[in-house]
Structure formats: structure tokens, C-alpha cells
Amino acid sequence: SQKIEQNSEALNIQEGKTATLTCNYTNYSPAYLQWYRQDPGRGPVFLLLIRENEKEKRKERLKVTFDTTLKQSLFHITASQPADSATYLCALLNDYKLSFGAGTTVTVRA
Amino acid sequence: KAGVTQTPRYLIKTRGQQVTLSCSPISGHRSVSWYQQTPGQGLQFLFEYFSETQRNKGNFPGRFSGRQFSNSRSEMNVSTLELGDSALYLCASSSDTGNYGYTFGSGTRLTVV
């Protein structure tokens, strides 16, 4: 069966450090992998999308890598700030349907 | 431009009742998807519509239905509500295929008592 796993439920880091989140998937052959941020009681907010033929994508302090051989994506938040505290979700798009991982809750300590 | 608008924001219903939730997508977006979010199951796909046609449907019972209107606005309906239907229902819109990301609304929090 298809699975999307985000390795950590929670990640606590010091302000200024880099947070690294992992997303692994099985039994998918995604053309696109997306990352979202969700704050409590709100809908997810789209952050970044990476295509299967792209190894890395950057947007401001965010960086995403995509390794289709390992079936893994890494999401990095550099120079983290308390405002980055949220739940981060990876999602695979297939046939107009997003399948989400359970999410990793990041807490950045000042 | 205005985001995805979902109404109502909160809803309390009794078991056995039915409920209709509404979603207005971003202007110009013709694809509307619905998701259910619960603490135990996370985000689960319900269905997706494009130009009034359902293109995909998740593994939910037939009590869950949806439709899309010609102006791209969408509604979802849940009949014969059960306690387990209590969840945050999220609507998302995109331009076409979703290959450029989805914009989610703030959701409707449904509580079934």
C-alpha cells in the first residue's frame, strides 16, 4: 500500500539553527512533491513544490531536496525564527489528489 | 486577491442530521478539492471537482457527497451524521492540475454531538 512518512512528530530547535525535516514515501511514483505549513486551527499554506527532475529548490530561507531513488525529500529551514514554529506537511500529488504525511511540528526556541 | 472562503467557520450538529458546507475558490481557479482533517487520521482526501465534474474521489462512505457549480463554487454534504464525522473540513483550490500548489481555506470545524 502507499505510504508517506514524516520521520519526526516533533522537532525542537534553537533560534538561528537549521531545522531539517524528512519525508519518505513508498509505492508512489510522484511527479511532484509539495510542502505545506499549517498553524493550529488553520488550513495548510503552500510553501514549495519540487518536480521529479529537480534535485533541489530554494525559496528564501527554505530549501527542499528530492531524491526519487531513495524516495525521500528533505525540507530545511535555515536561520530559524520563532515565527517558523508550525506543523510542516509533505504531500504527493497523484490524479488530482494530495496525499499527506502526518506532519512534523517544529518549535523554535528564542 | 481574495483567498479561498469557506462557510460556515464553525458548526454543531446532532447525530443523524445532515450538513452542507460551502467553498468559494480563488477567482479563476476551476479545481476545488475537499479534505477532512482529524487528529487520528490526519488530512484525508474527499473529492476533487473541475468544471463541475468530479475527477477523483477518496475512500469515504456515500454519505459524503459534493458538487461544483458553473461559477466554480463548491459544496459538500454529509448526511446522517455520525460522531466520527467531527473534524475540520478543508477546501482547496488550484488553477487546473494542482501542479503549482493548492490554496486552502481556513476550514469548517464540524462538531457532531
For residue range B43-80, list pLDDT tens digits in order.
999 999 999 999 999 999 999 999 999 999 999 999 99
Do A43 and B50 lie within an 8 Å CB cutoff?
no
Q: CA nearest B4: which of A46, A62, A89, A90?
A: A46
- In eight-state DSSP terms, residue B98 is S
Contacts of A5 in chain B (CB under 8 A): none
Backbone φ and ψ for B108, nearest 5 degrees, come out as -115, 120
Q: What percent of chain B has pLDDT over 90?
A: 91
- Judged against a pLDDT cut of 90, whether residue B105 lies above it is answered with yes
- Judged against a pLDDT cut of 90, whether residue B94 lies above it is answered with yes
- Split at pLDDT 50, 70, 90, the class of A91 is very high
Do B45 and A102 lie within an 8 Å CB cutoff?
no
- Judged against a pLDDT cut of 90, whether residue A27 lies above it is answered with no
Do B103 and A46 lie within an 8 Å CB cutoff?
yes
Contacts of B56 in chain A (CB under 8 A): 95-97
Contact yes or no for A62/A80 (Cβ under 8 A) = no
What are B9's three cell numbers?
A: 467557520
What are A84's three cell numbers?
A: 517558523
- Split at pLDDT 50, 70, 90, the class of B1 is low
Q: CA nearest B14: which of B88, B89, B82?
A: B82
Would you call B70 helix, strand, or coil by DSSP? Answer: coil
Higher pLDDT, A1 or B6: B6
Strands A104-109 and A10-14: parallel
What are A101's three cell numbers?
A: 504525511
- Judged against a pLDDT cut of 80, whether residue B12 lies above it is answered with yes
β-sheet bridge partners, residue A104: A88
Segment A49-75 shows an average pLDDT of 93
Q: What is the CA radius of gyration of chain A?
A: 13
Contacts of A101 in chain B (CB under 8 A): 42
Segment B38-43 shows an average pLDDT of 93
- Judged against a pLDDT cut of 70, whether residue B98 lies above it is answered with no
CA distance linking residue A100 with residue A67, whole number of Å: 18
- Judged against a pLDDT cut of 70, whether residue A81 lies above it is answered with yes
